[in-house]
Amino acid sequence: MESMNVPMSKLKREDLYSLEQYAQMRPQFRAMVMKHKKNRQIAIGAHASLSFEDRLTMHYQVQEMLRVERIFELGGIEEELAAYNPLIPDGTNWKATFMLEYPDIEQRRQALAHLKGVEKCVWIRVATCEPVLAIADEDLERENDEKTSSVHFLRFELTPNMIAAAKNGAVLSVGIDHPVYRFDVDPLPSPIRDSLVADLLG
């Protein structure tokens, strides 16, 4: 079974389990991934959260998609890899799924209308460095003229100085600085900080 401390290399077809293999090992693999994810998820206020992705979380996502869709042909497998590999960090950045969650449908509709552009207001800060604003939804159209989406894909690109500081133990913090939604988590809990620092090369 895949180790949680893996390089940030992209997934290849040879890295995946066949549908039969995955059916047998899914309970154990899923339990390992869920435990891993606990140290990569952070709530920002009551309605927003970040789930930081890595090679293991994307391996799980691809296997689940292949399982649900019963995909076993080469073309279909390559399509899933092409969809999810971009969410694996590259050693100089963090990549995350950003979610806005409201239990009531009407409340969600109104909130998403007021939160236009919020995905560009999410930031991460390494100690006293300048906050790094998210680069949102590359190659995707997630927002329209009336509202934002409830799910976004974010990338936080770090400078060499930020990477060095994080590797040397600097605290990390995250937040959202939108006119109608301002919250921060400062500092990030140590288990989350340590998991994110492990994504960085240098």
Q: What is the pLDDT of residues 29-43, one digit of tens each?
A: 999 999 999 999 999
Does pLDDT of 121 surpass 90?
yes
The answer as to whether 92 is a domain residue is yes
User: Number of structural domains, the chain?
Assistant: 1
The answer as to whether 154 is a domain residue is yes
| Predicted TM-score (pTM) of this structure | 0.91
Give the domain range for residue 118: 13-197
The answer as to whether 58 is a domain residue is yes
* Residue 5 pLDDT grade (very low, low, confident, very high; cuts 50, 70, 90): very low
* Residue 111 pLDDT grade (very low, low, confident, very high; cuts 50, 70, 90): very high
Give one DSSP letter per residue of 141-200, joined into a string.
----SS---SEEEEEEE--HHHHHHHHTT--EEEEEEETTEEEEESSPPHHHHHHHHTT-
The answer as to whether 59 is a domain residue is yes
